[in-house]
């Protein structure tokens, strides 16, 4: 009976939302079961994850068995889903509609100037989609199966200053030892292409932050296609120029897998944009653009993506990063460099750098969908490979 009422309530909510022009999935969200913490659980061989639909549909836990067969939870997140509402940092939810900074909080396109929500760098840039960007939204859940969850977003024209509506489906699926992410965005009510750039910042510590592994300094990182990076100013706005990552410099992760401690000894934290310059064909499914591993847990995570840049960020302990580990991770304050995120993306602020000629990578619609695919593939002591 309760179930029938829930179904009726969700159908009603859907109809109401359709009449008012809202998301057709609004009512469905309540139908999908959560665990007692309000999280959605999905799993496949070797991997189990939990998600919340808050903060852009954030992954809250990734559990993998380490070399000793002990389950470790290897990402930063929050225990209580309600706490996501007050959390103003970025913890893995989808960042959109345009991730990264847009300099001057505006861009010119096809003879028009668009002014976007000025929420970054003290009101001088648009950061991660603006004040009400997707990682500040609670999303609808379109579907949930034992190994997948799909969030849906309806972002209206003018929201945060961007032109055109966009309807999006953000799908996470687990396969044996794999987490696959596919984003699809359909721009609507626009006669022109609109800028779209989605990303997410999931912070990893492959030892599960255990005592002795409070930081990722002993992790090794390999970025085989990243001999170049974008030069950025002190506000992380690209200057337009490209730099070479000299061998054995703190930016050299291309020549071999290198211990993060070596770079961190010379450069307190990382927040840098590495370009992915690989020859065609890309072999998206077989050649990772990033590989992070820890000898202690034996866990390796490889990032596969069709995107042409990876931003590396180590947890910096700055404003908005006042965070404690989850209880299962020991519950202590998160230390500087406790974790690292590897964000796949297109080139930052490309809207304002026509000289890079990247319009086809950042502008989509009305007849061209934006789709992007990436996966994190795990192995423990090299198995499975």
Ligand X SMILES: *[C@@H]1O[C@H](CO)[C@@H](O)[C@H](O)[C@H]1NC(C)=O
For ligand X, which residue of 125, 199, 226, 245 counts as binding (CB under 6 A)? Answer: 199
**Nearest-approach distance from CB 13 to ligand X, in angstroms:** 32
- The yes or no reply on residue 233 touching ligand X (CB under 6 A) is no
Q: How far is CA 143 from CA 53, 153, 180, 377, in A?
A: 12, 13, 16, 23
For ligand X, which residue of 350, 363, 370, 380 counts as binding (CB under 6 A)? Answer: 350
For ligand X, which residue of 277, 322, 371, 381 counts as binding (CB under 6 A)? Answer: 322
For ligand X, which residue of 63, 183, 203, 204 counts as binding (CB under 6 A)? Answer: 63
- The yes or no reply on residue 71 touching ligand X (CB under 6 A) is yes
- The yes or no reply on residue 174 touching ligand X (CB under 6 A) is no
State which residue, 33 or 69, has the beta carbon closest to ligand X.
69
For ligand X, which residue of 7, 31, 32, 65 counts as binding (CB under 6 A)? Answer: 65
Q: Could you tell me which stretch among 13-21, 213-221, 339-347, 366-374 binds ligand X (CB under 6 A)? A: 339-347
**Nearest-approach distance from CB 121 to ligand X, in angstroms:** 8
Q: What phi and psi, each to the nearest 5 degrees, are found at residue 229?
A: -140, 160
Per-residue 3-state assignment (H helix, E strand, C coil) for 261-296 = HHHHCCCCCCEEEEECCCCCCCCCCCCCCEEEEECC
Site track for ligand X across 120-159, x = CB under 6 A: --x-----x-------------------------------
Site track for ligand X across 77-116, x = CB under 6 A: ------------------x--xxxx-xx------------
Measured in Å, how far apart are the chain's first and last C-alpha atoms?
48
State which residue, 129 or 142, has the beta carbon closest to ligand X.
129
State which residue, 297 or 343, has the beta carbon closest to ligand X.
343
CB 292 within 8 A of CB 257: no
- The yes or no reply on residue 173 touching ligand X (CB under 6 A) is no
For ligand X, which residue of 13, 39, 48, 304 counts as binding (CB under 6 A)? Answer: 48
**Nearest-approach distance from CB 6 to ligand X, in angstroms:** 30
Q: Which spans of this chain sit near ligand X (rule: CB under 6 A)?
A: 46-48, 63-65, 69, 71, 95, 98-101, 103-104, 122, 128, 197, 199, 311, 322, 343, 345-350, 352, 362
């Amino acid at each position: 009976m309760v179930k029938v009422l829930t179904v009726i309530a969700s159908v009603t909510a859907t109809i109401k939302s359709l009449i008012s022009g809202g998301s057709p999935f609004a009512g469905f969200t309540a139908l999908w079961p959560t665990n007692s913490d309000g999280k959605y659980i999905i799993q496949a061989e070797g991997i189990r994850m939990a998600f919340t639909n808050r903060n852009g549909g954030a992954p809250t836990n990734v559990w993998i068995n380490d070399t000793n067969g002990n389950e470790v939870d290897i990402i930063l997140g929050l225990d209580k889903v309600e706490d996501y509402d007050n959390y103003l940092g970025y913890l893995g939810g989808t960042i959109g509609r345009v991730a990264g900074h847009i300099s001057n909080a505006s861009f010119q396109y096809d003879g028009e100037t668009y002014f976007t929500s000025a929420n970054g760098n003290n009101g001088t840039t648009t950061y991660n989609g603006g004040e009400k960007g997707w990682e500040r939204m609670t999303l609808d859940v379109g579907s949930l199966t034992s190994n997948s969850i799909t969030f849906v977003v309806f972002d209206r024209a003018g929201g945060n200053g961007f032109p055109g509506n966009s309807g999006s489906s953000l799908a996470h699926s687990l396969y044996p030892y794999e987490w696959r992410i596919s984003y699809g965005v359909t721009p609507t009510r626009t006669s022109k292409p609109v800028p779209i750039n989605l990303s997410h910042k999931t912070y990893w510590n492959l030892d599960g932050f255990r005592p002795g592994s409070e930081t990722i300094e002993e992790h090794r990182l390999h970025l085989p296609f990243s001999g170049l990076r974008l030069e950025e100013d002190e506000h992380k706005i690209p200057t337009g120029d490209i730099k070479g990552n000299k061998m054995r410099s703190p930016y050299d992760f291309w020549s071999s897998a290198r211990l993060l401690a070596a770079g961190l000894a010379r450069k307190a934290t990382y927040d840098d944009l590495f370009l992915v310059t690989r020859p065609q064909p890309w072999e998206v499914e077989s050649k990772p653009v990033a590989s992070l591993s820890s000898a202690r847990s034996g866990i390796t995570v490889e990032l596969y993506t069709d995107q042409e840049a990876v931003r590396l960020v180590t947890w910096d302990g700055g404003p908005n990063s006042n965070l404690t580990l989850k209880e299962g991770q020991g519950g202590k304050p998160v230390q500087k460099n406790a974790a690292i995120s590897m964000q796949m993306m297109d080139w930052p602020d490309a809207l304002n750098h026509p000289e890079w000629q990247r319009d086809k990578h950042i502008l989509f619609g009305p007849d061209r969908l934006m789709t992007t695919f990436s996966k994190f593939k795990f192995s423990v002591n090299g198995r499975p490979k």
